[in-house]
A and B are shown apart, each in its own frame.
Chain A
Amino acid sequence: MSIVKTAKKGVTFYNPAKAHQGYILFAPLGGRDVWLIDMEGNFLNRWQMPYVPGLHGVLLPNGNLLYAGQVKSAEELGLSEEFSGLGGMFLELDWDGNLVWKAEVPYQGHDFFPMENGHILYISWEPAGIIPDEIAAKVKGGRPSSELRGKIWGDSLIEIDRDGNRVWEWRAYKHLEPEIDVICPYENRSQWPYLNSVWFLRDGNILLSARYISTALKIDYKTGKVIGRYGQGGLAHQHDCRELENGNILIFDNGSHRHEYKPSYSRSIEIDPKTNKLVWEYKASPPSDFYTAHSGGNQRLANGNTLIMETDKGRMFQVTPNGEIVWEYVNPFYRYTFHRFTNMVWRAHFYDADYPGLRGKDLSLGRYFWENKLWGPGAFNSDIKPCLF
């Protein structure tokens, strides 16, 4: 426990003149709620779920919430602890919390992408992706003899339709190259390459974040081949690789096992995929003031600002291109996850006021009177006084 770290909650900074206005959706890890808040921290909608997040929910353009819930943890599936982020069940709920669709997806983990045709593309750690021994022997890097019961688990991508049928599938081990896709020397050889984000590109191909090899991968949807590798050498266990309007890639570079001896720091970076060069970067000043070992997210907003999720601190904030913080919110909900009470949030999602999914929705402030009183604006305004006794 630390007073210094736990005391600040809710909106801790807001500059309405510079911040892009909208609504933010987030699901506290280990909890069973998904919240939609406004810039002042008012609760506008709350979905209560039967499962803890595995690992987040998104607001679809049709106004429903699509959520991945955790059915079985890594231990329950006989996997080691670094297989964190497992889900297992997709649930779609309407604005009022009624269940309208669900799909059981064992071994689903981390990220998923709702496609325009209603299909869902998701990352899976199913045993069918386990790397065959002849290929596993060629996989380089990682700590020696740290395979999971002698096997390296490979990631798979699966696409399901609205009836839950599998319409497309991809196995990492069939397309990665052991000579290029080398595991970080300090990570375990239990997985290759440990995908933690999936994004459907406008050209119909797929962008992946491969954590253990600290590389963003572009996969050809038709053939499954790896047709692009970005960020190698500069990234350190990144998350949330997404395509921007301008064609560049935004990446949350966590900074764990970074090849430097400096206090740990995270960055949000923008890379031009044509040249693989850095075109924009956000780092705190000093850099160590912004670091999350787990997860992390970044989203470019319509006015050029970026919404960043510092998962470990439960802190989401919006920065201008110059790196000025114009909005900051600390998740006030502490739940039990990763062996302790924490306010971690895997990823926060920003929606503009004119987002189709919010059309016609009741966003009046009176709907969550007590939630606002307890955890909304003004609830945490009083000066935190030292506890001296």
Chain B
Amino acid sequence: MSYARTSLKGVMYYDSRRAYNGLTLFTPVEGRGAWLIDMLGRTLNCWQTPYAPGCDGRLLPTGSLLYAAKIPDGPLSDLEGAGGILMELDWDGKVIWKYEDPYLHDSFCRLGNGNTMVLRWVEVPQEIASKVIGGDPGTERDGIMWGDAIREITPSGKVAWEWIAHEHLNPEGNIGCLVCPRSEWTHLNACEVLEDDNILASFMKTNTIAIIEKKTGNIKWQWGPGELAHQHSPTMLDNGNILVFDNGFHPYGFPWGFSRVLEVEPKTKAMVWAYGGREATTEFYSATMSNCQRLPNRNTLICEGNTGRIFEVDLKGKLVWEFSNNLPSDKPYPAQIRSHMVYSAYRYGMDYPGLKKV
């Protein structure tokens, strides 16, 4: 808790000439659902569930919320990002679809055909786990190293496609973070299905973002080690570049304490745009969670998860909108020591089909 920081709340900065007009959806860590606010921070809708987020929440074109919920006593609920239920709630909060799998975590992607791509934990077989480099020795979770799988599930809950990371990743080439525990190898935290059906994925513990070829399961492209440090939310832009939130947590070299949002050109692997970095040391930093989104007016929406701060910058990095999470916590703390953290935030323009009801 800090008096200096907890006192500032809501929308503290808004340049209506430059910010991208729309509604912002976000999932506060100490909440039980998702909130939709306008540019002045007023709540236009909120969806309440019995579950804390685990972790992402997205507004679908139908106006429904697709929400990853965290089950209270899941088998791996001590691991960051644990979920367990994927639920779809209509605009009025009624649950219209549910998919349960206690090993679900982090994020998902709803496809145009109604299927959903989800992330789940699977055990890494001992013969492979013993070859994985990285992490403190002996810190496996009850002797097990957990890996990742991506599953495409139909509305009726059937598995239409599956990709298991340890069947395609080489232990020697995918080095886990040197100071993280060996309870996990890769920790996938994002899967975005691209126009060509391939999947843009984020392997957080091995500091790699990659494109997985759906047909073969091969990794078509990858980048990250040496630059990224526990990144989140890589997303494909219209110009073919990839935007990614580089947390800068457990960084290579002297830890100056900064995060960055990077735009990378896949062909050349050059970083063609960045927000944050050295010039924002201590100013902009979130060790875990967080995400970034490029907006139609070329601004970028950034969620600095650990501080509960969602803000928008233009191409020059100038601030045009800033919101500090001011929602009440669901935890039974005294009021002043609640956590403000937000997993992720997305902006939807007023012409988004899902906002027709507003």
B253 touches A4 (CB 8 A): no
CA A82 – CA B253 in complex, angstroms? Answer: 9
CA A389 – CA B322 in complex, angstroms? Answer: 13
B14 touches A258 (CB 8 A): no
CA A115 – CA B162 in complex, angstroms? Answer: 68
| Closest A residue, CB atoms, query B80 | A261
B4 within 8 A of A: yes
Interface residues of A in 233-276 (CB under 8 A from B): 237, 256-264
Chain B proximity of A294: nearest CB distance (Å): 7
A13 within 8 A of B: yes
B271 within 8 A of A: no
A-B contacts at CB below 8 angstroms, number: 170
Given the interface pairs A186-B250, A264-B287, A286-B339, the reply to whether A293 lies near B255 with Cβ below 8 Å is: yes
CA A388 – CA B39 in complex, angstroms? Answer: 10
Given the interface pairs A2-B319, A186-B178, the reply to whether A339 lies near B3 with Cβ below 8 Å is: no
Residues of B within 8 A of A186 (CB): 178-179, 250-253, 255
CA A56 – CA B302 in complex, angstroms? Answer: 36
B8 touches A7 (CB 8 A): yes
B94 within 8 A of A: no
Interface residues on B, range: 35 or more
How many A residues, CB 8 Å from partner?
55
Contact residue among B11, B12, B180, B280 (Cβ-Cβ distance under 8 Å from A259) = B180
CA A312 – CA B341 in complex, angstroms? Answer: 19
A259 touches B283 (CB 8 A): no
Given the interface pairs A4-B8, A4-B324, A389-B16, the reply to whether A264 lies near B2 with Cβ below 8 Å is: no
Contact residue among A257, A284, A338, A386 (Cβ-Cβ distance under 8 Å from B2) = A284
B309 within 8 A of A: yes
Given the interface pairs A8-B7, A188-B254, A261-B80, the reply to whether A288 lies near B287 with Cβ below 8 Å is: yes
B337 touches A2 (CB 8 A): no
Which interface residue of A8, A82, A262 has the most chain B CB atoms within 10 A? A8
Interface residues of B in 297-313 (CB under 8 A from A): 306-307, 309, 311
A388 touches B250 (CB 8 A): no
| Closest A residue, CB atoms, query B288 | A263
Interface residues of A in 312-340 (CB under 8 A from B): 312-313, 315, 317, 325, 328, 330, 338-340
Binary contact readout A282-320 vs B (1 if CB under 8 angstroms, 0 otherwise): 001110111111100000000000000000110101000
Contact residue among B8, B253, B280, B281 (Cβ-Cβ distance under 8 Å from A143) = B253
| Closest A residue, CB atoms, query B250 | A257
A288 touches B252 (CB 8 A): no
Residues of A within 8 A of B322 (CB): 2-4
Chain A proximity of B259: nearest CB distance (Å): 11
Residues of B within 8 A of A2 (CB): 283-284, 309, 311, 319, 322
Contact residue among B7, B80, B178, B281 (Cβ-Cβ distance under 8 Å from A293) = B281
B278 within 8 A of A: yes
CA A338 – CA B258 in complex, angstroms? Answer: 12
A328 touches B255 (CB 8 A): no
B43 within 8 A of A: no
Given the interface pairs A4-B322, A264-B287, A313-B4, the reply to whether A188 lies near B253 with Cβ below 8 Å is: yes
Write the residues of chain B forming the contact surface with A, with a CB cutoff of 8 angstroms.
1-8, 10-17, 40, 80, 136, 177-181, 205, 230, 249-257, 278-288, 306-307, 309, 311, 319, 322, 324, 333, 337, 339, 341
10 pairs across A/B with beta carbons < 8 Å?
Answer: A2-B319, A4-B309, A5-B283, A8-B8, A186-B253, A187-B254, A286-B341, A312-B282, A388-B40, A389-B14
Report, nearest first, the 8 A-B pairs whose CB atoms are least far apart: A293-B257, A312-B282, A256-B255, A13-B3, A82-B254, A185-B178, A264-B287, A8-B4
